[in-house]
A and B are shown apart, each in its own frame.
Chain A
Amino acid sequence: MKRLAKKFAIVILFFTAFVFMLINKTDTVIIEKTSSVATDIVSPIMDTLVIPARAVGNLYDYFRELKQIHQDNKRLMEENARLLKIRDNAISLEIENKILTNLLNYVAPPEATFFTARIVAEEEDTFSHSVIVYTGSNNTVRKGQVALGSRGVVGRVDRVGNMYSRIMLLTDINSKVPVVIERTRVRGILSGDNTSVPKMVFTPLSAEINVGDRVVTSGVAGTFPPGLPVGRVISAEKGNIKVEMFSDLASLEYVKIIDYNLIDLEETE
């Protein structure tokens, strides 16, 4: 009798798990809200666990970086001299831009606001690519906002909790971002496939795309502003255009969450 009850319980639990998956598939808000609340409960524990691990990691990085400091210093001095020249050019261009803007009566887009969030948990495996970040009591975080790494876009806010939010990385299978090849202005969609190099799909067959081309956001659909750096083409075969991210997603520690005052995905759902 007891064994029968146990078998029955197993069947019921399997059934429950499949029902969870089906509810998730239909994109209802129940799972999303439950998950956001649960993330808010679980993440503080993660946050505490990270402290000693990060201390050890930082110590290791400190000794590793000591070796590089001399080389970096020399390189940075050269770079600084070069950048000073560029700054002079930029100042004159800025003045010119202001004059021309006034002449054309150009209405500038709203300025973006941002804040930096620390990553407390990450998941980059066969089944999903996402990170959980500590956003504190910042109530400006909204679903769909852009997350930037040090070198470019890394993803967008997927679930928002009270203190923690989940960011879906560009490499996740659910991530679809309108992009454009900077050089040729060929448009496409950057589609994650749970590998470290997402594919660029829906590009014209005759499109001129070469290895090394820079890929930036196109701004189509309104969720991402145009021109944000995304990555570089590493394979330009027809039907298999692979893009390597500028940001190293495996070693992200902080992300910048940017509010461009664009479409609010929560309101559009």
Chain B
Amino acid sequence: MNESLSEHISLSFQRALPLLTSILLLLISYMPMNVFFLGNLKIAVSIACVYFWLLHRSDLFNLFSVCFLGFFEDILSAAPFGSNMVTLLLCYVLITNLAKFFNAKPFVVIWYGFGALMFVAAFSRWLLVSIYYGQFLPLPSLIFSVLITVAVYPLLSMLNAFIQGAFIQEDA
């Protein structure tokens, strides 16, 4: 009885791990870094996590997880409430429709795919928030943020892959 309970807890934890990892990485991205060259830039950790987990373990990272992550970022952020949720839902729609294309493809192709997704997601959000405020938001910092996020994607991917390999069973 006890064994089955601990198994159940372990399985539940494994199933929740993609979302928990994403939340932890998201919190870290909001930490004050005091790095001068990162002044106006922020890495879009949530989009990178959504992309990774939807491609690799879409059974553990579903629509609810995406929605919750977006909601959580809306709480952390001072940007218009709901804008992160819309962006991540858009990512969900795009990734789930294109996931078959990335199946068993080399990492470089997946990386290019992330670049394209990041571009679409960031500019959609930029447009949405610009309409919300009735004025165009600054583009240079957005472009740099997109480039930096794409550049660090392999690192974020490695971290997530480590979590996947070390803590999540195939049949979780």
* A interface with B by C-beta (< 8 Å): 6, 9-10, 13-14, 16-21, 23-25, 31, 35, 38-39, 42, 45-46, 49-50, 53, 57, 119-131, 158, 166, 168, 172-173, 193-196, 249-253
> Which chain B positions have C-beta within 8 A of A23?
81
Known contacts A13-B63, A120-B32, A194-B138: does B80 contact A24 (CB below 8 Å)?
A: yes
CB atoms of A46 and B63 under 8 A apart: no
Residue B145 lies at the interface, judged by CB distance under 8 Å to chain A: yes
Identify 20 residue pairs between A and B in the complex whose beta-carbon atoms are under 8 Å apart, listed by A's number. A6-B63, A9-B63, A14-B89, A16-B82, A17-B83, A20-B85, A21-B81, A21-B86, A42-B27, A42-B72, A122-B32, A122-B33, A123-B79, A124-B39, A125-B40, A125-B42, A126-B141, A126-B145, A127-B125, A130-B78
Task: Known A-B contacts: A122-B33, A126-B126. Give 11 more (CB < 8 A).
Answer: A20-B81, A46-B31, A125-B41, A127-B83, A128-B79, A173-B133, A173-B135, A194-B141, A195-B40, A251-B34, A253-B32
* B interface with A by C-beta (< 8 Å): 27-28, 30-36, 38-42, 63, 67, 70, 72, 74-83, 85-86, 89, 92-93, 125-126, 129, 132-133, 135, 137-139, 141-142, 145
Known contacts A53-B31, A195-B40: does B74 contact A123 (CB below 8 Å)?
A: no
> Which chain A positions have C-beta within 8 A of B138?
126, 193-195
Choose among A39, A126, A128, A173 the residue that contacts B75 (Cβ–Cβ < 8 A): A39
Residue of A nearest to B90 (CB): A14
> Which chain B positions have C-beta within 8 A of A124?
39-40, 42
CB atoms of A121 and B31 under 8 A apart: yes
Residue of B nearest to A124 (CB): B40
A18 to B85 Cα, complex, angstroms: 9
> Which chain A positions have C-beta within 8 A of B141?
125-126, 194-195
> Which chain B positions have C-beta within 8 A of A119?
32
> Which chain B positions have C-beta within 8 A of A123?
30, 42, 76-79
Known contacts A120-B32, A121-B31, A131-B32: does B74 contact A20 (CB below 8 Å)?
A: yes
Choose among A18, A50, A121 the residue that contacts B76 (Cβ–Cβ < 8 A): A121
